[in-house]
Amino acid sequence: MAKVLVLYAHPRPDRSEVNAPMFEAAQSLDGVTAVDLYADYPDLGIDVDTEQARLVAHDVIVFQHPLYWYSAPAIVKEWQDLVLEHGFAYGHDGDHLAGKWILNATTTGAKPEAYSKGGVNHADLRSLLIPFEKTADLCGMTYVAPFVLHGAGRAREENRVQMHVEAYRTLLTALVSDRVDLAKASRAIALEGDLTPFLLQSEIA
């Protein structure tokens, strides 16, 4: 069994139509620690010792957030700058995160076709999130392809919210039970829609 840490970052959760129910689902799952960073640190005063202890105690770290300017909301950068210290996350004796897995669970405003070399963003989502992946590399962690819902602003009217929330629940539950093919998921561009190809057989039987 793996311990999963969800670090949720949404500056206006009262306006969230997708991330808020996703976070509620994460909070309800055994084996998942779900942390609302903006609720815990409304002034961005990150408690480094608390956050480092959380990281050490978990096997899989999930940054859950809407995509803001090809990245995450500001508190995630503040968290990274303060928590991932030299001597803890990297550098001499900085091996506390080695062997852990990390991924982004994100939502985008644009449609899937925008996230391609031929699309308006001229890059796929994983390429745009490369700073997270390179941070994982430096810390000795393995980056898993982002779990994504595109076109989130239209998801409610298109009746896609509940389906995505259930897929998130499935992903987190499978992570806890070590039934995600993490090697395969780490090679993907993104995890979206049907997760069956990334779940081990015992999870989908």
* Domain extent listing, the chain: 4-204
Asked if pLDDT for residue 28 goes beyond 50, the answer is yes
Cross-strand partners of 71: 68
Count CB atoms within 10 A of the CB of residue 137: 12
Tell me the C-alpha to C-alpha distance, in Å, between residue 178 and each of 11, 85, 142, 192, 196: 31, 28, 15, 19, 14
State the CATH architecture for 4-204: 3-Layer(aba) Sandwich (3.40)
Strands in the chain per DSSP E: 4-8, 32-36, 60-66, 101-107, 142-143, 147-149
Candidates 145, 137, 69; CA nearest to 104 is: 145
Q: pTM score, two decimals?
A: 0.95
pLDDT at residue 20, rounded to an integer: 96
For the stretch 162-177, pLDDT in tens is 999 999 999 999 999 9
pLDDT at residue 202, rounded to an integer: 62
